[in-house]
Amino acid sequence: MADTGAGGGQHAVIRCGREHLETIRGIYNHEIVHTTSLYEYEPRSVETMAAWWAAKQAADLPVLGIEAEPGVLAGFASWGPFRPFPAYGHTVEHSVYVDSRFRGRGAGRALLVALIDEARRRDLHVMVGVIDATNSASIGLHRRLGFTHSGTVREAGFKFGRWLDVEYWQLLLSRPA
C-alpha cells in the first residue's frame, strides 16, 4: 500500500500480518477498558485474537495497519460482514482503531481512506460504520469522508453504568458489476 500524507506527516498504510496481532490486541483492549468505542466488557485474550485473525484470513477480509514510524503500528482497520445473509454480500461493517498515543495526527483518516479504496477494489456497494453516539471524533471523520447518518438505535448498549446510543453511518460506493 502507498504512503498517505495526513496530519503533517507520512503514514505507511500496510497489510497487517500475524506479527501485528499483539499490538492490535493491545489497541482493542485499551478501547474495551477505557472507552465506549467497543461495547465489550472484558479484554480480549490471546486465544480470542488468534481466532479473530484466523477468521479474517479464512474469509479474505482486510486488516490494514498504519505505522507511526517503521515497525510501530499506530492503528488498524478492517471490516466484516454487515449481516450474515447472502443478500448483504456487498455490504460490510468496518472498524478503525488508533492507539491513543497517536490520535490527532491523521492516522484514522489515512486508514479509513485506505479501507474505502480497498472496498472499491473489491466491488463492494456499502460500507457501514457503527459508532457510539458520543464519539464525535469518529462521527466527524466519517462525515468528512462522505458517510451519511442512516439511523440511531437508542440505548443499544450498557457500559460504565449508563445506556449508550449507537449511530449508523454509511457510504454508498459504486454499484457492483
Residue labelled with grid coordinates 442512516: 150
Cell of 53: 485473525
Q: In what order do the strands lie in the sheet with 63-69?
A: 3-6, 9-15, 63-69, 72-81, 91-98, 126-132, 162-172, 148-159
pTM of the model: 0.91
Q: Which fold has domain 3-172?
A: Aminopeptidase (3.40.630)
Inter-residue contact 30 to 99 (CB < 8 Å): yes
Residue 17 has pLDDT above 90, yes or no: yes
Describe the crossing of helices 136-144 and 107-121 by its angle, rounded to 10 degrees: 50
pLDDT single digits (tens) 54-111: 999 999 999 999 998 888 999 999 999 999 999 999 999 999 999 999 999 999 999 9
